[in-house]
């Protein structure tokens, strides 16, 4: 009886070692075929850093009433894979809108290489009579997949502008007030500039 018991326990130990080695080998093989874990990131989080000298530490910008401000925003991918990012904004002031310059090489929703940084020129317009605060954020996903807009945030709308139009001084628009500047922006879009 001792010999049968020894053979039985020995067989179980050998079978346990074989199964452990087989499952470990399979895990290594699947990780290599998934290109070092790229497919495992589907359930993970893609992270981006937003920087601008015009934004505070909370990625916010305060814009005065009846004003237009151009800011440069840098988005850095903190990811180990190429991905798609989306830059969005939130404001509780309905008179504040954010646009981006058509001269940008990248759009507010576009692809970005791993660990790369892109620059966007944004135009913030406050056509109201009260100061507004704009908060920026970015999210991402795998390239070719639809991005979900962050809850309560809005897309940044594209605005076509002529090359010689700037935002620093109202006179660049031939205007002296914000309403005229906004009309100049809208006319440029309608005319396909």
Please list the pLDDT of the chain residue by residue as tens digits (193 residues). 688 888 888 888 899 999 888 888 887 777 666 655 555 445 467 899 999 999 999 999 999 988 888 889 999 999 988 999 989 999 989 989 888 876 666 778 888 999 999 998 888 888 889 999 999 999 888 887 777 777 778 888 766 454 333 444 433 455 555 666 667 666 665 665 4
178 occurs within a structural domain = yes
Q: What's the pLDDT at 121?
A: 85
40 occurs within a structural domain: no
User: How many domains, in total, are found in the chain?
Assistant: 2
Q: What is the pLDDT of residue 62?
A: 95
Are 162 and 78 members of one domain?
yes
Which domain range does residue 22 map to?
A: 2-33
Q: Which residues pair with 135 in a beta bridge?
A: 60, 90
Strand ranges in the chain using DSSP code E only, listed in sequence order: 48-51, 60-63, 67-77, 83-90, 96-101, 109-112, 117-126, 132-141, 154-155, 157-159
Whether 130 and 97 share a structural domain: yes
CA 101 to chain centre: 17
The verdict on 86 and 174 lying in the same domain is yes
- Residues 66 and 155 reside in one and the same domain: yes
Same domain, 64 and 12: no
Specify whether 49 is located in the same domain as 29: no
In a domain, 94, yes or no: yes
User: Does some domain include residue 39?
Assistant: no
Helix then strand then coil, % of the chain, to nearest 5: 30, 30, 40
Residue 170's pLDDT is what?
39
85 and 180 in a single domain? The answer is yes
């Amino acid at each position: 009886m001792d010999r049968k018991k020894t053979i039985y326990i020995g067989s179980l130990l050998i079978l346990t070692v074989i199964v452990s080695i087989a499952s470990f080998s399979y895990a290594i093989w699947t990780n290599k075929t998934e290109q070092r874990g790229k497919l495992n990131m589907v359930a993970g989080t893609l992270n981006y850093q937003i920087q601008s000298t015009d934004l505070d530490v909370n990625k916010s910008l305060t814009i005065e009433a009846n004003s237009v401000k151009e800011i440069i925003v840098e988005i850095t991918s903190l990811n180990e894979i190429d991905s798609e990012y989306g830059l969005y904004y939130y404001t509780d002031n309905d008179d504040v809108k954010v646009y981006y310059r058509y001269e940008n090489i990248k759009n507010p929703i576009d692809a970005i290489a791993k660990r790369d940084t892109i620059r966007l020129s944004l135009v913030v317009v406050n056509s109201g009579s009260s100061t507004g605060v704009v908060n920026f954020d970015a999210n991402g996903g795998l390239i070719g997949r639809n991005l979900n807009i962050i809850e309560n945030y809005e897309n940044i709308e594209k605005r076509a502008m002529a090359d010689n139009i700037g935002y620093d001084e109202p006179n660049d628009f031939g205007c002296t007030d914000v309403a005229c500047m906004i009309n100049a922006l809208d006319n440029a879009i309608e005319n396909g500039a």
